[in-house]
């Protein structure tokens, strides 16, 4: 049935998507079944299909009706310990029933993060709560350090507009094959976590036939602790959009979709403004600068679901379906958005293409290591003396990141959770043996992932952190496969019982068996990836956990 829905949804095209219709209807979180039925009839779908979609997202589900303010419950805010006091201050103005939760607001560098009236706040903003509620507060934008250690591909100054247009015209003088060859030469791998070579996706999509192809920018950065994509969307939007434009030129796609998480309202506004600027500069539209290449952008605001960071779930979301993970093959380059050939890449990956196309693939390849070329953005949380976004050459030691960029820690830390909730949980004594590249982390049983760093303080119970990871997975699971949907819930229940019942200890063999089932049987990296940090904890923090595990 999902394929039929894809084709039916395509009837309206990108200008009037089913997903946006549902989002608009649920803006006040008070949609009725009759209203949902009207939408279903308009798109020739069953009411159950539309209700199933509307009931999935944080911003559209009935359980959030009446919520006025949302507290960030991401990993960085959790370990920083700021949110209990934040909630107490919110209760002085809002009824407890009006306070919901949201993950993650990308304010990991200063915490105390909350979302009110479609605006994010953090740091000392909570002390101006009355002004915020009265719409008298004008200082919601945050500030954080941005530095590089080595090359400045993504953190340098934006190109001069006239020079930028000149470079774009020069790109169009080359054939798509020539541009693809430069990307192949660069060795660029996906920065969203998997590290998959980008050129393979582009080449696969280019070979597919058909009048409709899409480039989708996965800006649904949901990993708690990560805010590097948010930095690019808000401070380097041109690099992101021109990366999509280049990908469209290479593959023959003429439409690009930027799917941005609703938890980043400032990012949505910034990208929309930049799209308008590109349109005024004639960089988008029909037969750009007299060439045969046409390209247009569509910005879609998500509705709150971590699983939409998985590329096939994201595609289903745009189509107005429940964002469930699709079985592969076929892969998105064969059957993607609306079952047309589609390339999906994350924000940071796409932002590298302008450098590659203007400086050459060999210049990019000369940076980093043999297998992990280029640079990597890193997010440092508030436990560091200088939290912020940092760009480093691949191969840079983790020790340099901690001490030269982050300037060490404000408090004692026992572990670093690197790469989001599915990344490796690195004990502090291992940091001197790791470097920022895919191979270094994989060889030692970790995963670089998005390269965000969440610090686990010495006093924070590891059992509580593992419970948080299972609870996060259980809440964010799309529910399609049993290992993820049931396994995450059973894991959460085991850890909760071990903490509440002093006579109960988790059977180690049972727990390892559960983790192995999730790793082997889950359809995507959510259920398949969460066992990694848990196994890291069992290996390196066994003394602390033996109270709960036999």
* pTM metric for this prediction: 0.95
Q: What is the mean pLDDT of residues 205-225?
A: 93
pLDDT tens digits, 483-535: 999 999 999 999 999 999 999 999 999 999 999 999 999 999 899 999 999 99
462-545: CATH topology is de novo design (two linked rop proteins) (1.20.1440)
**Contact by Cβ (8 Å): 99, 67:** yes
In 3D space, the residue among 38, 74, 71 whose CA is nearest the CA of residue 54 turns out to be 38
In 3D space, the residue among 219, 216, 176 whose CA is nearest the CA of residue 199 turns out to be 176
Angle at 60 between CA 58 and CA 64, to 5 degrees: 65
**Contact by Cβ (8 Å): 263, 113:** no
Query: Is the Cα torsion angle 298, 299, 302, 307 positive or negative in sign?
Result: positive
Name the percent of the chain lying above pLDDT 70. Answer: 98
In 3D space, the residue among 352, 393, 370, 338 whose CA is nearest the CA of residue 242 turns out to be 352
Which CATH architecture best describes the domain 148-365?
3-Layer(aba) Sandwich (3.40)
Tokens of 313: 């779930």
Tokens of 191: 């920065």
Which CATH architecture best describes the domain 67-143?
3-Layer(aba) Sandwich (3.40)
C-alpha to C-alpha distances, 248 to 192, 205, 296, 336, nearest whole angstrom:
19, 10, 10, 15
Confidence class for position 29, pLDDT limits 50, 70, 90: low
Q: Has residue 26 got a pLDDT over 70?
A: no
If you count them, how many residues does the chain have? 550
Tokens of 65: 């009706």
Confidence class for position 185, pLDDT limits 50, 70, 90: very high
Q: Which residue has the tokens 């940091």?
A: 431
Tokens of 353: 């293409």
Q: What is the mean pLDDT of residues 374-400?
A: 97
Query: Selecting from 3.40.718.10, 3.30.160.20, 3.10.20.600, 3.40.50.150, what CATH number does the domain 375-456 have?
Result: 3.10.20.600
What is the DSSP annotation of 315-378? HHHHTTS--PPPPSSSPTTTS-GGGS-EEEEEHHHHHTHHHHHHH-HHHHHTSB-SSSBSEEEE
Q: Has residue 30 got a pLDDT over 80?
A: no
Q: Has residue 15 got a pLDDT over 90?
A: no
pLDDT tens digits, 442-482: 999 999 988 999 999 999 999 999 999 999 999 999 999 99
Alpha helices in 101-236 (DSSP H): 129-133, 161-172, 176-186, 198-207, 228-235
C-alpha to C-alpha distances, 178 to 171, 208, 360, 487, nearest whole angstrom:
10, 18, 11, 47
Q: What is the mean pLDDT of residues 82-104?
A: 94
Q: Has residue 28 got a pLDDT over 60?
A: no
In 3D space, the residue among 83, 209, 171 whose CA is nearest the CA of residue 359 turns out to be 171
Is there a cis peptide before residue 329, judged by omega within 30 degrees of 0? yes
What 3-state class would DSSP assign to 39?
A: helix
pLDDT at position 547: 95
pLDDT tens digits, 100-146: 998 899 999 999 999 999 999 999 999 999 999 999 888 888 999 99
Q: Has residue 158 got a pLDDT over 90?
A: no
**Contact by Cβ (8 Å): 68, 314:** no
Query: What single-letter DSSP state applies at residue 384?
Result: B
Break the chain into its structural domains and give their ranges: 2-63, 67-143, 148-365, 375-456, 462-545
């Amino acid at each position: 049935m999902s394929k039929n829905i894809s084709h039916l949804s395509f009837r309206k095209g990108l200008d009037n998507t089913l997903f946006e219709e549902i989002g608009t209807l649920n803006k006040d979180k008070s949609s009725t079944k009759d209203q949902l039925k009207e939408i279903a009839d308009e798109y020739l779908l069953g009411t159950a299909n539309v209700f199933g979609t509307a009931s999935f997202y944080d911003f559209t589900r009935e359980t959030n009706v009446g919520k006025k303010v949302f507290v960030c419950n991401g990993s960085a805010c959790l370990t920083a310990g700021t949110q209990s006091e934040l909630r107490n201050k919110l209760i002085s103005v809002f009824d407890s029933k009006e306070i919901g939760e949201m993950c993650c607001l990308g304010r990991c560098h200063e915490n105390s993060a909350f979302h009110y009236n479609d605006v994010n706040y953090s740091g000392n903003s909570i002390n101006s709560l009355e002004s915020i509620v009265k719409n008298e507060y004008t200082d919601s934008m945050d500030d954080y350090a941005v530095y590089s250690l080595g090359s400045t591909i993504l953190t340098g100054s934006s190109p001069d507009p006239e020079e930028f247009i000149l470079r774009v015209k020069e790109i169009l003088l080359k054939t798509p094959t020539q541009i693809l060859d430069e990307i192949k030469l660069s060795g660029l791998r996906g920065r969203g976590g998997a590290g998959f070579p980008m050129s393979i996706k582009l080449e696969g999509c280019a070979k597919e036939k058909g009048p409709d192809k899409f480039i989708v920018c996965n800006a649904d950065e949901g990993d708690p602790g990560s805010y590097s994509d948010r930095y690019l969307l808000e401070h380097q939007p041109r690099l992101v959009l021109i990366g999509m434009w280049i990908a469209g030129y290479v593959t023959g796609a003429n439409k690009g979709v930027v799917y941005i998480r609703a938890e980043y309202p400032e990012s949505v506004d910034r990208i929309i403004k930049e799209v308008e600027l590109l349109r005024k500069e004639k960089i988008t539209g029909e037969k750009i600068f007299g060439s045969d290449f046409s390209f247009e952008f569509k910005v879609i605001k998500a509705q709150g679901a971590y699983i939409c960071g998985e590329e096939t779930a994201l595609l289903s979301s745009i189509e107005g379906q429940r964002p469930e993970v699709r079985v592969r093959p076929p892969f998105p380059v064969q059957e993607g958005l609306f079952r047309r050939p589609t390339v999906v890449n994350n924000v940071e990956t796409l932002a590298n293409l302008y450098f590659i196309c203007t400086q050459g693939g060999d210049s990019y390849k000369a940076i980093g290591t043999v297998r992990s070329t280029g640079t990597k953005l890193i997010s440092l949380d508030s436990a560091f003396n200088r939290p912020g976004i940092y760009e480093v050459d691949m191969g840079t030691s983790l020790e340099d990141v901690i001490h030269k960029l982050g300037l060490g820690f404000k408090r004692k830390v026992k572990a670093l959770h690197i790469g989001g909730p599915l990344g490796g949980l690195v004990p502090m004594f291992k940091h001197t043996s790791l470097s920022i590249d895919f191979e270094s982390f994989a060889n030692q049983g970790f995963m670089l992932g998005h390269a965000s760093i969440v610090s686990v303080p010495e006093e924070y119970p590891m059992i509580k952190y593992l419970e948080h990871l299972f609870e996060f997975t259980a809440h964010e699971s799309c529910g399609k496969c049993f290992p993820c949907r049931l396994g995450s819930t059973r894991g959460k229940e085991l850890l909760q019982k071990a903490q509440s019942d002093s006579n109960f200890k988790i059977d180690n063999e049972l727990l390892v068996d559960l983790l192995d089932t999730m790793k082997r049987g889950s359809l995507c990296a959510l259920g398949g990836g969460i066992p990694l940090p848990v196994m890291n904890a069992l290996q390196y923090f066994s003394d602390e956990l033996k109270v709960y595990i036999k």
